[in-house]
Structures are given as C-alpha cells and as structure tokens.
A and B are shown apart, each in its own frame.
Chain A
C-alpha cells in the first residue's frame, strides 16, 4: 500500500504504450486514438455492469444509510476529533493492543476517550457531570453517567461506528462519528 509510483507496480509493464500502439499523450487528432477512447469507454461500462453483478452495494447497507437521516441532529453541538492515536501517535513497538486514545473538541468542552479491550473510559473537561449515550447507529444507545470529575467508564468495547452524545447542563454535544 506504500507504492508511490503509478502504475508501475504491476507485472504487466510489458504492455507499454508502444506495445499497444497508441501513445497516451495523444496526438492532436488521431482516429486510432479515438477508436481506442470509444473502446475504453465500452470496457469501463462493462466493468460497471460487472461490479453491479459481482460487487453491488449490499441492500442492508443502503437501508442503514437511509435510516441514518435520523442522526441529523440540529440541536447538538459537534465535537470534532482533534487527536486519534491511530493517526497521530507513534506506536509502541510490540504493543499490539495499546488502547486507542481519542480527543474531541467543541468550543470550551474537551472529551478524552480511551477505547481498549476492557471497554471504554473517558473524561469530560472541564470536569463536570454529564449523562452520556453511546451511539452505535440511528437507534438509541447505552447510557453512561460521568461523575462530578467528568469521568465515565463502560465495560463494553465499541466495535464498528460509534459516537458519544453528552448532556451537560443545558448543552448537548455529540462526538464526530468514527469507527472504533
């Protein structure tokens, strides 16, 4: 996945432009190139048809995406992901099950979350009590409570998409959806 050079990574370099007889930089008005372009369009259309047969969007996924409209939440403030250890941290050698550290920000509220095989724990900052819903989809999710220090824990490790919906004072804050 680290191949930078496009697309010299395959074994079929023998089929170079010359071998195929049409330069890709394309002469100004080359009838042969035009025939090729039509052919290429046809080939792509055929691939599109093949994808529709062999690898279509699973119907249940389309249904879930349609239902996701319920997640359009005008009342909540969005807490954006500002740190993800998966992307922003250098992994410790040999530590294969290091917890995933996430930080979300919305205005003056910060939410630190740690996802590990033991479950989920985190803290709302500045420290404050909150009621928290762990969303995994358009349906309502499990409830958690953050104590006076803003700390919360759950023994359930989220798998797949999840977001936290927090009520603190009069505020509703939802963390950006991501995949655990």
Chain B
C-alpha cells in the first residue's frame, strides 16, 4: 500500500503489508481489467485475495460445509458486483466485509435452528497438500512440525476475539488494516493495539508451556 514508506518501529500505525506478495495498490487496476473482461486479472484477484476471504470465514468458526458455501457465495457475489463496486481499490475490504456479513448470517441461522455450537476441530487434517506440508512430512522437520502443532493449539485456545483477529491477520499475503477492520468489525485504529495484546497473550501461553 505504501511501498515507499521507510521501515518503522511504529508497527501499529502501518497497514500490515510488510512481506506481502501482492501489491494492494494493484487491486483497483486488476478490478478494472476484470470488469473489461480480462480473465487473467480476475485470476490474480482470486489468488491475491482468496486467503483473506478464507481467513475471515475460518475466523468465524464455521463448519467445513458452511465455510465452503460462504466462501463461494462471497466470490459469486463479487463477480456479480464487479462493475458496480464504488471503490475498486478497496475490493479486499469489500470481500472481507461481505464474508463477515455472510458468516454472521450463518451463525444466526444456526442459533435459530439448534442451540449447539459447531466448533472446528483443532487438529483437523487438511485435504490439500501444500509445499509446506511436504516439508513437514519429512523426518528432519519433525521438530518443526511439533512446534507448528502446539503453536496452532495455543492459538485456538485464545479468547474468542483474539482468535478471530489473529486468524484474519495471518492471511497470506497479509491484509491491510482496512481489510482487517472490515473482516472483524473493529475500528482501524484499534487493530494495532489489539493485535499487540493478542500476540502477547499467545506468547504468554507459549512461555507457560516452556515452548519458546
């Protein structure tokens, strides 16, 4: 977003874009190209923003089936609204906000139908193999695998709001604060301090486990 900004220690004031593979400044141009019929631009949008949408869905603890349906609904609607989005450069925030909205609807309908929650299983095996996973599978990486597992476990056991915020923040490429704000319904200015606080809690949990 602000590519020219010098590295700063005032992390909380910066949109969280360091290390991101997608230049969010391109999003507006990609949306415009997609409106004009450029399928490659659309694909680039999907690849750049799909993890954000997935993170928002996961942050709301939907079941796998609901998560898949919400994810699809969000992208179908985005395709439908493509030429009508008022601020194309904010497509990420549009997607995050739409995803959150749909997640809240699902949660509402679940509450209406059954009193039980459907919490995600923590160590659910993923159906998709990623390059990272292949590394994990090797014996040499067993220790790292262990670390990933308990890091994830401690993350899952954080308070609900912290878990939700961090799940969105860990999308890859890292979302901007504007997108995070749309995804979890917290003011942009509050995200930095809350991010810090939640990470500190996670760190404390890891410390307590003697895992640092």
Residues on A facing B (Cβ under 8 Å): 1, 3, 6-12, 15, 17, 19-20, 22, 24-26, 34, 36-37, 39-41, 43-59, 61-62, 64-66, 68-74, 78, 84, 86-87, 91, 96, 137-138, 159-161, 163, 174, 176-179
Q: Are B77 and A176 in contact (CB under 8 A)?
A: yes
A20 vs B51: C-alpha distance when bound (angstroms): 32
Q: Are A49 and B102 in contact (CB under 8 A)?
A: no
Q: Are B136 and A72 in contact (CB under 8 A)?
A: no
Q: Are B79 and A72 in contact (CB under 8 A)?
A: yes
- One of B82, B148, B158 near A10 (C-beta < 8 A): B158
- Chain A residues whose CB sits within 8 angstroms of the CB of B167 once the complex forms: 51
Residues on B facing A (Cβ under 8 Å): 9, 11-12, 18-19, 34-35, 39, 42-43, 46-47, 50-51, 54-55, 58, 68-73, 75-84, 102, 105-109, 112-113, 123, 126-128, 130, 132-133, 136, 148-149, 151-152, 155, 158-162, 165-167, 169-172, 174, 186, 190, 193-205
- Chain B residues whose CB sits within 8 angstroms of the CB of A9 once the complex forms: 159-161
Nearest B-chain residue to A10, judged by Cβ: B159
12 contacts between A and B (CB under 8 A): A8-B159, A10-B162, A40-B199, A54-B126, A54-B152, A57-B51, A71-B79, A71-B80, A78-B80, A96-B113, A160-B72, A174-B80
Min C-beta distance of A12 to chain B, whole Å: 6
State whether A58 and B68 are in contact (beta carbons under 8 Å apart), knowing that A47-B155, A163-B76 are contacts in the complex. yes
